[in-house]
Chains A and B, each alone.
Chain A
Amino acid sequence: MDDVAADVIAIIAKRLPAEKRNVAMADRLEDLGIDSFGAVEMIFDLEEKFDVQISYNSNDARLDLETVGDVIDAIKKLVAGRS
């Protein structure tokens, strides 16, 4: 696992109860119990960690980022676009 993936997983895992912290790429955020305001806090942590802007409005029907792998891919794209 690369550094970005490890950092994203650490940020997501921090939001979860101890017994659920062993997350896999295919895990869906919703199934992990991250609700819309949990997502807002997670996105804040990601933006701060990677110095990127993530577009997200909690009123939209669903987060584009469905799985842990989606979040990692999105962050990698944003980080690549930044440099």
Chain B
Amino acid sequence: MTHRVVVTGWGVVSSIGHTAAAYWSNLSRGVSGIADATIIPTDHLSQKVVAEVKDFDPRQYFDDHQVTTLDRVSQFAVIAAREAIGHASISFADGLSERTATIIGTGVGGQTTQDESYRRLYQERAKRLHPLTIPKLMVNAPASQVSMHCGLRGPCFAVASACASATHAIGLAFHLVRSGGATCAVTGGSDACITFGTMKGWEAMRVMAPDTCRPFSRDRKGMVIGEGAAVVVLETMEHAQQRSAIMLGEIVGFGMSSDASDLLSPDEDGMVRALEGALADGRLSREDIQYVNAHGTGTATNDEAETQAIKRAFGQHARKLAISSNKSMIGHALGAAGGLELVATLMAIKEETVPPTINYLGRDPACDLDYVANKARPLRIEAALSNSFAFGGLNAVLAVRRL
């Protein structure tokens, strides 16, 4: 037996707000979270702008002992999960905990711990590291910490697919709940890799914009690294109805594919297969979709390939779609990006407003669709897609619908 899967709660930690409400308020007004980095020294970085979670004090959320056990990436995940669970007004007592999955995506895990530990070893010649170094930096730490902090005892694991991690995580959680493998899921993504080491790695790829992120725009100069977390509570519709929960939206489809071609360059064919897979899995026709929350990284190649893929997957209907990229405001939060963007997509449906693609300077002939440039747009959306396309050629697309 398959179940309809609804979203009943969401939580967000982002560069434009530490709660879901603040996130949406800024996203829908086109407020940018991109600015000069403050959490790392920038003297030796050629790109100094990032979308960091500003004015973040973990002691507002955790006691001193907890703070020492949690890397920044796990702190974000736990805070977002707590908010989502509170928003869903759900209790995991009476056996629900054992039937609740925790699936959290992350691109690279505890980079702050890794960077700081290695700096101490190599630069300060430290003789020993903190005993929790490994459990703080492991890629499953955010998933494990959410499970422990929220008392969730069902299936729990991490998903790592770079920039598509959260979308893969939510998609797997959706399939698990739909199939009856779990009644509930707490799922999403978290990343916090604005460290000196990772930023030097990104710099070396020469894909970074020096000023800001301008998805689909002419004269776009590349991506801006972001960070944060987004977590949603999924449950079967029957379960949500039984407990009279407020249902925020429905997840109906998930499509995934691998390019199996280039490590870095995006591939239209792979994108098209994921887009078509999400529509088919959700039993949606092209014409059912009004909005696509794009991957839209702001690199020359992604935005052009994504535009082509949307045209191929949607045919003539592509020109009627509203398409926007949240990365223009929140940068590329990597393993969290798909979660932040799915929440934005659900909010857009609920609030009947498409968040804009800001920093848009004008049309690039290779990107000629409607990207909701610079200003949010009122729109009643019945169904929408959220795209994530990762380095390594991994594509994931979620389909959601109004309830």
Q: Which chain A residues have a beta carbon within 8 Å of chain B's beta carbons?
A: 35-37, 40, 43-44, 56-61
Contact residue among B204, B220, B265 (Cβ-Cβ distance under 8 Å from A59): B220
B193: interface (CB < 8 Å):
no
Pairwise interchain contact B222-A59, C-beta atoms closer than 8 A = yes
Size band of the interface chain B makes with A: 10 to 19
- In the assembly, what is the distance between CA of A70 and CA of B118, in Å? 40
Q: Looking at the assembled complex, report how far the CB atom of A45 sits from the nearest CB atom of chain B, in whole angstroms.
A: 12
Complex interface residues of chain B between 295 and 340 (CB less than 8 A to chain A): 299-301
Known: A37-B265, A44-B204. Contact between A57 and B210, CB under 8 A?
Answer: yes
Pairwise interchain contact B264-A57, C-beta atoms closer than 8 A = no
- In the assembly, what is the distance between CA of A60 and CA of B300, in Å? 8
Known: A40-B205, A40-B206, A44-B204. Contact between A57 and B221, CB under 8 A?
Answer: yes
- In the assembly, what is the distance between CA of A44 and CA of B205, in Å? 9
B207: interface (CB < 8 Å):
yes
Pairwise interchain contact A58-B204, C-beta atoms closer than 8 A = no
Q: Which residues of A contact B221 (CB under 8 A)?
A: 57, 59-60
Q: Which residues of B contact A36 (CB under 8 A)?
A: 301
Q: Which chain B residues have a beta carbon within 8 Å of chain A's beta carbons?
A: 204-210, 220-222, 264-265, 299-301
Q: A40-B205, A61-B300 are in contact. List 12 more A-B contacts (CB 8 A).
A: A36-B301, A37-B265, A40-B206, A43-B206, A44-B204, A57-B206, A57-B208, A58-B206, A59-B207, A59-B221, A59-B300, A60-B221
- 24 residue pairs bridging A and B, Cβ less than 8 Å apart: A35-B265, A37-B265, A40-B204, A40-B205, A40-B206, A43-B206, A56-B206, A57-B206, A57-B207, A57-B208, A57-B210, A57-B221, A58-B205, A58-B206, A58-B207, A58-B299, A59-B207, A59-B209, A59-B221, A59-B222, A59-B299, A59-B300, A60-B221, A60-B300
Q: Looking at the assembled complex, report how far the CB atom of A73 sits from the nearest CB atom of chain B, in whole angstroms.
A: 21
Q: Looking at the assembled complex, report how far the CB atom of B117 sits from the nearest CB atom of chain A, in whole angstroms.
A: 26
The number of residue pairs between A and B whose CB atoms lie closer than 8 Å in the complex comes to: 33
Q: Which residues of B contact A60 (CB under 8 A)?
A: 221, 300
Q: Which 10 A-B pairs have the closest CB atoms?
A: A59-B222, A59-B300, A58-B206, A40-B206, A59-B221, A37-B264, A57-B206, A58-B207, A59-B299, A56-B206
Q: Looking at the assembled complex, report how far the CB atom of B112 sits from the nearest CB atom of chain A, in whole angstroms.
A: 26
Q: Which residues of B contact A35 (CB under 8 A)?
A: 265
Q: Which residues of B contact A56 (CB under 8 A)?
A: 206
Pairwise interchain contact B222-A58, C-beta atoms closer than 8 A = yes
Known: A37-B264, A37-B265. Contact between A57 and B222, CB under 8 A?
Answer: yes
Most B CB within 10 A of own CB, among A56, A59, A60: A59
Q: Which residues of A contact B207 (CB under 8 A)?
A: 57-59
- In the assembly, what is the distance between CA of A35 and CA of B205, in Å? 13
- In the assembly, what is the distance between CA of A59 and CA of B111, in Å? 27
- In the assembly, what is the distance between CA of A60 and CA of B301, in Å? 11
Q: Which residues of A contact B301 (CB under 8 A)?
A: 36
Q: Which residues of A contact B210 (CB under 8 A)?
A: 57
Q: Which residues of B contact A61 (CB under 8 A)?
A: 300
- In the assembly, what is the distance between CA of A43 and CA of B210, in Å? 18
Q: Which residue of B lies closest to A43 (CB)?
A: B206
Q: Looking at the assembled complex, report how far the CB atom of B350 sits from the nearest CB atom of chain A, in whole angstroms.
A: 34
- In the assembly, what is the distance between CA of A58 and CA of B301, in Å? 9
Q: Which residues of A contact B265 (CB under 8 A)?
A: 35, 37
- In the assembly, what is the distance between CA of A36 and CA of B264, in Å? 10
Q: Which residues of B contact A40 (CB under 8 A)?
A: 204-206
Q: Which residue of B lies closest to A53 (CB)?
A: B46
Q: Which residues of B contact A59 (CB under 8 A)?
A: 207, 209, 220-222, 299-300
Most B CB within 10 A of own CB, among A35, A37, A44: A37
Q: Looking at the assembled complex, report how far the CB atom of A43 sits from the nearest CB atom of chain B, in whole angstroms.
A: 8
Q: Which residue of A lies closest to B222 (CB)?
A: A59
Q: Looking at the assembled complex, report how far the CB atom of B316 sits from the nearest CB atom of chain A, in whole angstroms.
A: 30
Q: Looking at the assembled complex, report how far the CB atom of B123 sits from the nearest CB atom of chain A, in whole angstroms.
A: 21
Q: Looking at the assembled complex, report how far the CB atom of B206 sits from the nearest CB atom of chain A, in whole angstroms.
A: 5
Q: Which residues of A contact B300 (CB under 8 A)?
A: 58-61
Q: Which residues of B contact A57 (CB under 8 A)?
A: 206-210, 221-222
